[in-house]
Amino acid sequence: MSISHGVVRRGEIRRSAEDFTVPACLNTLKEYQLGFMNTALNTSLLLYSSFAADKNLTNEQANAIFTQVNQQMAQTNEFGNQYTIEMARLLGVTLQAPPTLEPTAVGTAATPE
């Protein structure tokens, strides 16, 4: 089985980031960056290897893979959030939640009388 070029390239980028030397003050930021990259790469590998190896998965097997993918994506998201928080701390800025929009009703057009 060959791994797609995109997965291989992401692995090369991750190794390059790992080898890049940063000042001690950026070690935590780098840790979150690599955590994000590792979990994203592992998720890609899981998907690729699961579906490329056996195209006749049962629903139960596919659901188990999707559960793993969802867990890994949540972990990837957490690393991304931690990275953003650490970057804000290093820059001395306060993060603010984006404004929320008021929900609009869908399919409530007025009917003619």
- DSSP per residue, 71-96: HHHHHHHHHHHHHHHHHHHHHT----
- pTM comes to 0.75
In a domain, 15, yes or no: yes
- Extract the tokens encoding 30: 């780098």
Residue 68 belongs to domain spanning: 5-91
In a domain, 32, yes or no: yes
In a domain, 61, yes or no: yes
Question: How many domains are contained in the chain?
Answer: 1
Q: Per-residue confidence of the chain (113 residues) as pLDDT tens digits? A: 456 777 788 889 999 999 999 999 999 999 999 999 999 999 988 888 877 765 788 889 888 988 999 999 999 999 999 999 999 999 999 988 888 878 776 655 555 55
What per-residue confidence (pLDDT) applies to 1?
45
How far is residue 27's CA from residue 24's CA, in Å, rounded to a whole number?
5
In a domain, 109, yes or no: no
What per-residue confidence (pLDDT) applies to 112?
57
Instruction: Please name the residues in contact with 94: beta carbons below 8 A apart, sequence gap of 6 or more.
Output: 88
How far is residue 15's CA from residue 17's CA, in Å, rounded to a whole number?
5
In a domain, 106, yes or no: no
In a domain, 30, yes or no: yes
In a domain, 104, yes or no: no
What per-residue confidence (pLDDT) applies to 2?
57
How far is residue 49's CA from residue 74's CA, in Å, rounded to a whole number?
20
In a domain, 70, yes or no: yes
